[in-house]
Amino acid sequence: MRRSILFRADEMLNDRKVVILTEGGVSGGRWVLLSFIFDLLFPGNCLGCERNLREAEGPVRSIPGGWPESTFHFFNEHFHYNRFWKFRLDATVLCRECWLKLKPVTVRNMNVADGGFSVVSPFETNDMLLELIRFLKFRGGIPVSVPLGWWMADALNRFLESGEIALGGGLVLLPVPLHRRRMLQRGYNQAGLLSMEIGRFLGIPVLDDCLERVRNTAAQSKLADEDRDENVEGAFRLVSDPPSTVKTIVLVDDLYTTGATMRACLKALQYSTDSPIIILTAGRSHGSE
């Protein structure tokens, strides 16, 4: 994947801490340890069709219509992730056929306006993407964050290169925070893991010390659309202002449906709408267009 040099992180953040997100505390997320053991005992099966991923699929000679040119680069990548004592394990997750069951968002309609903010996603939400997100969030599927992070980085890169917004410089990734209780249960923040991978692919720093989730809200996915704004009202609190050198914030989460969570985050940030704010998710609902 071709990277864009957007800025120098040390110049942008100065002495402010750049957070390297990890898998969580020792007591958190039993699925983290269990999934690690299963990775060692039963490696290499596609999450979608259970095909053995070690079977050679051959070179990519063509891609279906609607997929970006970067798809060739994606299928030529070898995705890995490090677990515990620096074990380097495979993070392919899906076979090529199942990856192509996802529905890409073309560069022409990748930007969805919501209150003056840009919403960028590589995919529309469908059953295959939901399977990946559920595995990442609820079954310790940390390896999913690596290829999904690649696609999110690619979508952000294409969006920035399109020139649809005037960047103010000082770009930083800000993952939507989890409540501490849910963080202890899960062991990691999926938005944080995705941010870490996006930052690694594009060379963008991750900052997660200015926004805090102060209410352990009900899962948005279990609520009707009209109830989601009320559910997250006042759920986030600004802990500290972003560094003055930060001019553009990229809010990162897994899915974008009604935008309620993102609106609550933006309200807590009290950020000027004159400064570019980009919302970046792995998928967005078709209705969010």
Going by C-alpha positions, the residue among 220, 175, 221 that lies closest to residue 198 is 175
| Band (32; pLDDT cuts 50, 70, 90) | low
Residue 41 has pLDDT above 60, yes or no: no
Question: Domain segments of the chain: what residues?
Answer: 9-288
How far is the C-alpha of 72 from the C-alpha of 53, rounded, in Å? 18
| Band (244; pLDDT cuts 50, 70, 90) | confident
pLDDT at res. 31: 53
Give percent above pLDDT 90 in the chain: 34
How far is the C-alpha of 184 from the C-alpha of 189, rounded, in Å? 10
Q: What is the mean pLDDT of residues 267-288?
A: 76
Residue 192 has pLDDT above 80, yes or no: yes
Exposure letters 1-30 (e unless 16+ CB within 10 A, then b):
eeeeebbebeebbeebeebebebbeeebbe
pLDDT at res. 232: 76
Give percent above pLDDT 70 in the chain: 70
Residue 19 has pLDDT above 90, yes or no: no
pLDDT at res. 21: 38
How far is the C-alpha of 121 from the C-alpha of 105, rounded, in Å? 7
Q: What is the mean pLDDT of residues 200-226?
A: 80
CA 288 to chain CA centroid, nearest Å: 18
Most confident residue range from 101-105, 176-180, 274-278: 101-105
The H or E element spanning position 283 is strand 277-284
pLDDT at res. 286: 66
Going by C-alpha positions, the residue among 67, 52, 78, 68 that lies closest to residue 101 is 67
Sign of the dihedral defined by the CA atoms of residues 261, 267, 268, 270, in that order: positive
Residue 135 has pLDDT above 90, yes or no: yes
Q: What is the mean pLDDT of residues 203-218?
A: 84
pLDDT: which is higher, 67 or 114: 67
- Given a contact cutoff of 8 angstroms between Cβ atoms, the answer to whether 101 and 46 are in contact is no
Mean residue pLDDT of the chain comes to 78
End-to-end CA distance of the chain: 27
pTM for this structure?
Answer: 0.81
- Given a contact cutoff of 8 angstroms between Cβ atoms, the answer to whether 122 and 167 are in contact is no
Q: What is the mean pLDDT of residues 194-211?
A: 92
Beta-carbon count within 10 A of 177 CB: 24
Most confident residue range from 30-39, 68-77, 264-273: 68-77
Residue 152 has pLDDT above 90, yes or no: yes
Q: What is the largest CA-CA distance in the chain?
A: 52
How far is the C-alpha of 232 from the C-alpha of 220, rounded, in Å? 8
pLDDT at res. 180: 86
Q: Retrieve residue 224's tokens.
A: 């009707």
Residue 8 has pLDDT above 60, yes or no: no
